[in-house]
Amino acid sequence: MEYPNLLKEIIGGEKIAVIESSQPFKDELYLTVENGEFVRLCHLLHKRLNSAVKMFFAEDLRAKLDKYVLYCVFLNEQKRSWIIVQQDIHKDNPVFATLAKDIHSASLFEREIKEMFGIDPQGNPDGRRLKLHDEVWPRGFFPLRKDFSLPPEGPLAGLQYKFKRVEGEGIFEVPVGPVHAGIIGPGHFRFSVAGEPIINLEIRLGWTHKGVEKILEGKTVHEATKVFECISGDTAFGYSLAFCLSIEKAFGVSVPLRAQLLRVIFLELERMYNHANDIGGIALDVGFSFPAQFASLIKEAILQLNEKLCGSRYLKGINVVGGIQKDVDSVKQQLIQQALLKIKSDFISLEEMLFSSVSFMDRVDSTGILRTKTARDLGITGVAVRASGIGLDMRKNLHSIYDSLSFKVIKEQSGDVAARLKVRCNEVKESISIISQCLEKIHTCPSEFKQDAQEKEGFGIGCVEAWRGPVRVWSRINTQGKIERCKIVDPSFLNWEGLSFAVLGNIIPDFPLCNKSFDLSYSGNDL
């Protein structure tokens, strides 16, 4: 088999037996390899591209082709495209060799594949389930298999989850959750502490697991868009956009320029209100309530603007495949412009309040450091990775309408709470400038904002740099125009592990601060 040129450039002189390769889209290269070569090719790509595993998932094709297929997705930053390594898994012997021993970022994905499909990653040292809790779900029932049926009613499974134990003199554990003191999602945090400093933190999630990927199967594209808006409520727009992008690829629809620009405006508005919320949250977690309340006013102002623009405070019901539901007319554009001025000045005051307070800066400086090397190894994304000195941003890493807009990728080097705070503050400023540029461009652009889509069979990756980080969606549509399989990766999925590394050596009272500076999603992670 001839290597695609793209692959040749990356792997150089190495020989890999590629059975099949295809490039259905400009930015997606699919490579099918023998089972024995899968690990080797993934290692090569991981090293040469310097890319963590971005997605790793399975698909049940037993009904048609008598096999499962595994897909492992890497990002080629230089070529701004995805490389997807594919491996067939025999239906009667569902096992594969683990990647996790050398590529840490594959570990959580492998555990997910194991619990959802019953395909065993042989050699992965951690076989514990993530979302189907041992206490309530019996073994041997794999929800994402096509022939899945519910376990029989009866008493709960009653198995126990094993936490990692730290042993030694004077070590004690502090368990927190799943129900927390604040108004927040559920998660269980187990701290192992010696005196004051945290020496280990294990985060157990999955409490809000609702079976989203299974629910999506068999839904029409229109129904699925609604579900996507309810995966993580604060990223409603980012999620529906990522899904629409993936479907637009599958259907081969080109979205009118006006819709693309308006989508950018909404995405940046979402980024701004969430960053305002986070900055306020960081202030609140050190007990500095005046700026916290001030930030909540900024957030409320943007939410009210959202409602005026589209009738929904959380930007729901805007995205449709092929464009957007309703146009934003010149009156509404003016509203945005006026609001931006106010938001900008408010943000400057907010920053002044925070950065000029010595006691506040003392709490955030050098707290919760996530080192660059750790961030890279864990496959951290979004704000957290940029605060640790790595300039990953899907708005730059992929081809999109953002190419026609000028903005900076905000980076900080120190990786502490202060760095994440600064990244957020500066990203808001960039967002304001991006929105202004879009408003200028919209004046001269044709009025068409929706392209009719012809349903057809297909698949594709949709990826959006939402406020937390990249939301990644891979979906396959069947011949009836319904969803066959949909894989969703929330930016929080790998970032939660980053949090458990960042808190090491800090004291428990600083945990809320570290947690808020990452501000991860429970619902998006648990799906």
Footprint on this chain of another protein (rule: CB under 8 A): 132-133, 135-137, 143, 148, 150, 178-179, 181-186, 206-212, 214-215, 226-227, 230-234, 236, 277, 290, 293-294, 296-297, 299-301, 303-304, 307-308, 311, 313-314, 316, 352-353, 356-357, 521-523, 526
Cα separation, 366 vs 40, in Å, equals 39
Nearest to 243 by CA among 273, 264, 265, 223: 223
Instruction: Write down the least CB distance from residue 78 to another protein, Å.
Output: 36
Min dist. Cβ of residue 178 to another protein (A): 5
Burial class (CB in 10 A: 0-12, 13-18, 19+), 21: middle
DSSP readout, 225-288? Answer: HHHHHTTSGGGHHHHHHHHHHHHHHHHT----HHHHHHHHHHHHHHHHHHHHHHHHHHHHHTT-
Report the run of H or E that residue 333 belongs to, with start and end.
helix 330-355
Q: Which is nearer to another protein, 329 or 440 (CB)?
A: 329
DSSP conformational letter for 444: T
Q: Please, which residue, 236 or 244, has the CB nearer to another protein?
A: 236
Q: Between residues 215 and 257, which has the closer beta carbon with respect to another protein?
A: 215
What is the edge-to-edge ordering of all strands in the sheet holding 198-204? Answer: 171-176, 188-194, 198-204
Give Cα separations from 364 to 357, 475, 499, 512, 513 (angstroms): 11, 40, 15, 11, 8
For the CB of residue 522, give the shortest distance to another protein in the complex, in Å.
Answer: 7
Q: Which residues pair with 22 in a beta bridge?
A: 30
CB of 309 to another protein, least distance (A): 12
Give the residue with the Cβ less far from another protein, 460 or 469: 469
Residue number with CB closer to another protein (143 or 460): 143
> To the nearest whole angstrom, how small is the minimum distance from the Cβ of residue 293 to another protein?
5
Q: Report DSSP letters for 491-516, one per residue.
A: THHHHHHHHHHHTTTSBGGGHHHHHH
Q: Which of 126/300 has CB closer to another protein?
A: 300
Angle in degrees, CA 130, 134, 140, rounded to 5: 90
**Strand, helix or coil for residue 136:** coil
Nearest approach in angstroms of CB 232 to another protein is: 6
Question: Which amino acid, one-letter code, is at 405?
Answer: L
Least separation in angstroms between CB 72 and another protein: 26
CB of 386 to another protein, least distance (A): 23
CB 277 within 8 A of CB 517: no
Which pair of tokens denotes residue 460? 């594709």
Which of residues 257 and 335 has its CB atom nearest to another protein in the complex?
A: 335
- C-alpha to C-alpha distances, 484 to 62, 146, 225, 300, 457, nearest whole angstrom: 13, 10, 15, 39, 10
Question: In this complex, which beta carbon is closest to another protein, that of residue 294 or of residue 347?
Answer: 294
Q: Which is nearer to another protein, 137 or 251 (CB)?
A: 137
Q: Write the single-letter amino acid at 443.
A: H
Say if CB 337 and CB 356 are below 8 A apart.
no
Q: Closer to another protein at the Cβ: 206 or 469? A: 206
CA–CA separation, 115 and 157 (whole Å): 15
Q: Least Å distance between CB 424 and another protein?
A: 17
**Distances in whole angstroms, Cα of residue 429 to Cα of each of 280, 340, 410, 414:** 16, 10, 10, 20
Q: What value, to the nearest 5°, has the Cα angle with vertex 232 and ends 231 and 238?
A: 95
For another protein, the closer of residues 238 and 256 by Cβ is 238
Question: In whole angstroms, how close is the CB of 408 to another protein at the nearest point?
Answer: 28
Q: Work out how close the CB of 10 gets to another protein at its nearest, in angstroms, rounded to a whole number.
A: 38
Least CB distance to another protein at residue 456 (A): 26
**For another protein, the closer CB: 299 or 420:** 299
**Closer residue to another protein, CB minimum distance, 325 or 357:** 357
- Least distance CB 364 / another protein (angstroms): 16
Give the largest CA-CA distance in the chain: 71
Q: Which residues are CB-neighbours of 176 under 8 A, at least 6 positions away?
A: 188, 189, 190, 191
